[in-house]
Amino acid sequence: MSRNTSTGVYSAPSSTWNPVVDGTVISSADWTALLADLSTALAHATATTRALYPTTAQVQDGALVWAGSTAGSSTAITATLAPAITAYTTGLQFRAKIGTSCGANPTLNVNSVGAKKVYIQTASGTPRQASTGDLIAGFMASFTYDSTLDSSAGGWIAEVAAPASGWIQISTTAVSGSPATEVDITIPSWATFIRVEWHACAPSGATAPLCARISEDGGSNYLTGGSDYGGIVMGIRSTGTTESAMSSGRLDLSAGILTSQTVDGYITMRRAIGAPADIQSWYIDDTPTRVRHVAYGGGGTAAPTNIRFYFPGTSVAVGSTFTLFARA
């Protein structure tokens, strides 16, 4: 076939018909060959390069924008489109099944064009870099390229199809080596509910309560005042005493914990549409009757993106473990 698959341009084969010369006898064999070549060029063949026309089947089946399962690693994701792309353009889109759950700050490299950071759209309109739990193995996801991301270096916006139901373990953060100032956990963009469980948790240097703060901008800032929580802020002890002292903007998840103690507990958050969230938390330390319930919501402008755990005035001791679960 005389169609150039790189440019898509058709050129008739050279013969006694091409070019035609006055007074030259035209070969019947050349005419037959020309008809065969034209027939082949006009046939509806599968597009094997970006310069060729796709078939209806390729369009309906989504073959041109389907990359199959992603490969690479949790932080260096790769994908392959066929026909292969050779450059990234704003608006370029494709779909894929996540092969390996992503870690923090992953990149995506399609057809070896180049690794670019992966972002998640936020309610504020400003994308944040994807973090652990945003892309889960087996989930379907779509990716859109935007050349303005990453200070105009370009990046991918990922949209993930959430699971129908059931808790999924997203990540486990264990403090090791040396005490941690705080433990920050990113809330998956697709999650309606999250649950964080802490195990063998303790302050490292002084008696202190386990506390949490919420971020609504990807972890750049954490809420610091009671008014930031939308006006509905409360904590209830098992004794029935109602507390509203949250001017510091922190959620106290326990009473003071001694450095000689380790405690287990959990907090469950439900994301509300168009509001920050409703948070319900239960804490049980060495005395099973000591329970505290904390909630916030009603007036915020964005959904929570991160939750930070810490001990005021001291650090989180080595051996403290925080496990994140999520469900749609």
> pLDDT, tens digit, for every residue of 126-150?
888 998 888 988 889 999 999 999 9
Buried b vs exposed e over 271-305: b needs ≥16 C-beta within 10 Å?
beeebbbbbebebbbeeeeebbebbbbeebebbbb
Residue 301 has pLDDT above 60, yes or no: no
Q: Determine the pLDDT at residue 289.
A: 37
Q: Determine the pLDDT at residue 110.
A: 98
Q: Summarize pLDDT for 190-204 with one digit per residue, the tens.
A: 787 888 889 999 999
Q: Determine the pLDDT at residue 1.
A: 53
Q: Determine the pLDDT at residue 56.
A: 80
| Average pLDDT value over all residues in the chain | 78
Q: Determine the pLDDT at residue 178.
A: 94
Q: Summarize pLDDT for 16-70 with one digit per residue, the tens.
A: 778 888 888 888 888 888 888 888 777 756 777 877 778 788 888 888 999 999 9
Q: Determine the pLDDT at residue 323.
A: 93
Q: Determine the pLDDT at residue 318.
A: 94
Measured from the Cβ of residue 209, the count of other Cβ atoms closer than 10 Å reads 19
Q: Determine the pLDDT at residue 328.
A: 75
Residue 296 has pLDDT above 50, yes or no: no
For the chain, list the domains and their CATH numbers.
1-43 (no CATH), 57-160 (no CATH), 168-327 (2.60.120)
For residue 229, with 0-12 CB atoms within 10 Å meaning exposed, 13-18 middle and 19 or more buried, which class applies?
buried
The identity of residue 46, as a single letter, is: T
Find all residues with CB under 8 Å of 176, minimum gap 6, and list them: 318, 319
Q: Determine the pLDDT at residue 2.
A: 67
- 322 vs 53, more confident: 322
In angstroms, the Cα distances linking 285 to 63, 198, 257, 265, 323 are 55, 11, 9, 7, 17
Q: Compute the distance between CA of residue 269 and CA of residue 139 in angstroms, rounded to an integer.
A: 22
Q: Determine the pLDDT at residue 257.
A: 83
Find all residues with CB under 8 Å of 133, minimum gap 6, and list them: 101, 102, 170, 171, 186, 188, 191, 324, 326
Q: Summarize pLDDT for 158-178 with one digit per residue, the tens.
A: 998 766 667 888 889 999 999
Q: Determine the pLDDT at residue 248.
A: 54
- 76 vs 133, more confident: 76
Residue 225: pLDDT band (50, 70, 90) is: low
Average pLDDT for 215-225: 74
Percent of the chain whose predicted confidence (pLDDT) is above 70:
76
Q: Which helix (H) or strand (E) holds 266?
A: strand 263-270
96-100, 234-238, 273-277, 288-292: which is most confident: 96-100
Percent of the chain whose predicted confidence (pLDDT) is above 90:
31
Q: Summarize pLDDT for 255-279 with one digit per residue, the tens.
A: 778 878 888 888 777 765 444 444 4
Measured from the Cβ of residue 145, the count of other Cβ atoms closer than 10 Å reads 22
Q: Determine the pLDDT at residue 212.
A: 82
